[in-house]
Amino acid sequence: MNILHLDSAITADASVSRQLTADILARLTAANPDATVTYRDLSTGVPAIDTAWFKAVRVGTDDPTPQQQAQIDTSNALLAEVQAADTLVIGLPVYNFFLPSQLKTWLDQIARAGVSFRYTAEGPEGLLTGKRAFVAYTAAGTPMGSDLDHASGYLRHMLGFLGITDVTFVAADGLAMDREAGMARAQQALEQIAA
């Protein structure tokens, strides 16, 4: 088993999503002691895509400048980590009803036509198939699946768009109102994970 472990919370050791991704990872590696784990902390920054990125990475060039080559190399490295993994463990703390910007930027970097998805006569087709994802959803006041939650549905959609349709959420929500109950719900979901 090759696991890609992604954290995105900006709250360091106080992060509940980091605690939950660690718990998920512990369950997976206990059941699969030979598993390899690649870790990336997105909170340290992921370069945003822009016009220069588009010209370098999406349009491409036969003679990239050093800056363009750096953009290509970064995007390729992020995508290669996903391609090499069969299991993703993703921390999804909800900030202002949505994903952390670093997690959104990571998705922007890896969503590449012809590489991670392609357009067909029947519509887009994800190319990152054969993978599963476990998502640690945490929110102080945004119940997962509610009208306020614009994060979980978007992440599920984007993963599916890229071909990752086996997605399991472990949610600790409503933490500001009743932390104990939110953590209990997450623990119950953790116990359902089949490693």
Binding site as annotated, residues for FMN: 15-17
Count of helices and strands (H, E) across the chain: 6, 7
The answer to whether 104 touches 49, Cβ cutoff 8 Å, is: no
Residue 180 neighbours by CB under 8 Å, 6+ apart: none
Site of tokens 């990571």: 106
* Calpha distance 35→28 (Å, rounded): 8
Site of tokens 């895509």: 49
Residue 120 pairs in a beta bridge with 123
Residue 55 in 3-state DSSP? helix
Q: What is the DSSP letter of 105?
A: H
Binding-site residues, in ranges, read: 15-17
The answer to whether 161 touches 128, Cβ cutoff 8 Å, is: no
Per-residue tokens: 116: 């991670």
* Calpha distance 75→179 (Å, rounded): 37
